[in-house]
Structure 1
Amino acid sequence: MAALAGCGEEARVAPVAPAAELAASLETSESQNAVLFPKTAHPYGASLSTWADRESQWVYGHPLEHNPLIDQTGADCDERQAGPVWFIPRIAGPRVFSGSRSCTIPGGKAIFLEIGAYVNPYPCPDPNFHPAPGQSLYDFLIADAKAFMDGVNHLEVSLDGRQFADVLGYRFASADLFSLTGDPSFAALDPCVTGSPQPAIVDGFFMMFKPLEPGEHTLRVFGTDVRGANKTYVYHLNVL
């Protein structure tokens, strides 16, 4: 982070050595993001990419009628939540969109936030959607998702008004194919869903929050991409 000085102040400010500047930047980033599990952590025995797989399975497994991804208010935020981690998916909406949800979360739960992601199940109705000769299914699906997610060019996430550092660095992709069984009704959103187990991958931006203090909290997500997306999500959380 560069310091800004007013006119005539340069002589009173000592130059910052690159190593010291880097150390200060890393210290600030670590302080800002202390409420998050580190990117390389394995919370509750799984990597963050594995948790991304699990969150995708959870989202796709709900019927559209009560799907937490489609939910615009938070009424369905507690659908099939189990275990030590509470999933918060993005809010589905058009390319330019602003939405908010309210959700009550049991105390002691870690929170896995889906900032934005591309889930790729296989097969799909398009007969041309398949690996090239000699290409593995994993490599084909991950390359397709990567091409889309590489278009994300700006992300902001804040908790109770405090911005997190390096949000674009919280990108995770499946390490291998995983099995996804989408509810048949989800085919209205993703025509590749068959209602039976399918191989799939996910590539996206995710954060895992350590259990928050009881009380009211506000999570805000803002993002844009090169295709004109401009989205803001606000989550009003009540931690018991």
Structure 2
Amino acid sequence: MKITRIFLSHKVLTSSLITIIAICMYFGNNAFATLENSTNAPRLILKDEKLFDLTYGEWIAKWWQWYINFPKEKHPSLYYLESECGKNQTGPVWFLPDYVASGTIAASEIVERTCYIPSGKYVLMGINTGMYWSDTNETDDRIISQGREGQENAFIFVEINDTKIDVQNNRQDTGIFNVFVPSNNKYTGPSYPAGIYPAYADGYFIFYGPLKPGYYEVFWDYAAGKTQVFGASPVETKAKVLYHLIVE
């Protein structure tokens, strides 16, 4: 099963900083820079780092497990509610959903979201990401190739508090992992057999923290090549998202 989705001005699923000026220090080929000289600036996690003894890819797998557990009719990527931003959030990392615009949705439209987050949390936000799981005994190579499809040739633009962050070189994947797929999820109907399936996820994320009390603006803009989802006609995925994060 192919699941391709995710969220940003110049970007996907997606400005001005009111309270903080962040200075971005970008080193060499690092995809993420370290924001310094700002009281509220979070540290950006690089794709080769571990956090709480888990790899970046393992955190992506956790993000996808969180993401797939929501039923389609209440999925936060489609029906985001500020009041439910904290739903199913456990542990030290806070997950935020993507947004995908396609078809008749204007490429210039910016989707704005607000979320209240406890201080001390890290945040993992999907920008352009996809997951593929197999219920037909497909090979690992097949699962991986399908999982990567929607992220090829992607354009990614990200700003945190008006500071541009380069994420083009921070694409990461999960490797093959087991995902529990509920019967009623974003991509299948209620008759789909729930179960644990081999899966692979890949894409571009913003991973940063720990967050100190304050206000953060996270903006991203992305566009990716045409992707086929569940046998439907290929579509170009694109979005611009602006998150207002209030950390208390």
Contact preservation (8 Å) 1:122, 1:198: yes
Q: How large is the RMSD of aligned CA atoms in angstroms?
A: 2.6
Whether 1:170 aligns to 2:170 is: yes
User: Structure 2-normalised TM-score?
Assistant: 0.73
Q: Is the 8 A contact 2:122 2:208 kept in 1?
A: yes
Aligned residues: 203
Provide the rounded CA distance (Å) in 2 between the counterparts of 1:82 and 1:141. 29
CA distance in structure 2 between the partners assigned to 1:201 and 1:234 by the alignment: 27
Deviations 1:133-187 (A, max 9, x none): xxxx2211111222331131x101111111102x111211122x2221223221x
Q: What CA distance in whole angstroms lies between the structure 2 residues aligned with 1:53 and 1:31?
A: 20
Shift of 1:229: 3.5
2:96 is the counterpart of 1:88 = yes
The answer to whether the aligner puts 1:37 opposite 2:45 as a matched pair is yes
**Aligned pair in 2 of structure 1 residues 159, 74: CA closer, same or farther (>3 Å)?**
same
Where does residue 46 of structure 1 map in the other structure?
54
Q: As a proportion of its length, which structure holds more helix?
A: 1
Structure 1 unmatched runs, 5+ = 1-23, 125-129, 132-136
Whether the 8 Å CA contact 2:100–2:239 is kept in 1: the answer is no
The equivalent residue for 2:74 is 66
Question: Residue 79 of structure 1 aligns with which residue?
Answer: 87
Residue 224, structure 1, aligned to residue 223, structure 2? yes
- For 1:56, the equivalent position in structure 2 comes to 64
CA deviations over 1:26-85 (Å, ceiling 9, x no partner): 269699434202221101111111100110001101223433322334332211100000
Choose which of 141, 145, 153 in structure 2 pairs with 1:139.
141
**Given the superposition, is the C-alpha separation of residues 31 and 231 from structure 1 closer, same or farther in structure 2, using an over 3 Å criterion?**
closer
How far apart are the structure 2 equivalents of 1:174 and 1:40?
A: 12
The 3 A distance-change label for structure 1 pair 190 and 119 is farther
CA contact (8 A) 1:170 1:207 kept: no
1:107 and 2:119 aligned: yes
Q: Which amino acid aligns with 1:117?
A: T
The structure whose RCO (Cα within 8 Å, separation 6+) is larger is 2
TM-score w.r.t. the length of structure 1 is 0.75
For the residue of structure 2 that corresponds to 1:56, the secondary structure is helix
* 1:155 equivalent in structure 2: 156
SS at the partner of 1:55? helix
Contact kept? 2:178, 2:196, Cα under 8 Å:
yes
Q: 1:193 to 1:77 in 2, by over 3 A?
A: farther
- The whole-number CA distance in structure 1 between the counterparts of 2:28 and 2:90 is 35
Q: Structure 2: any 5+ residue segments left out of the alignment? A: 1-24, 36-42, 227-235
- Taking a change above 3 Å as real, the CA distance of residues 28 and 89 of structure 1, as seen in their structure-2 partners, is same
CA distance in 2 between partners of 1:50 and 1:101 (Å): 26
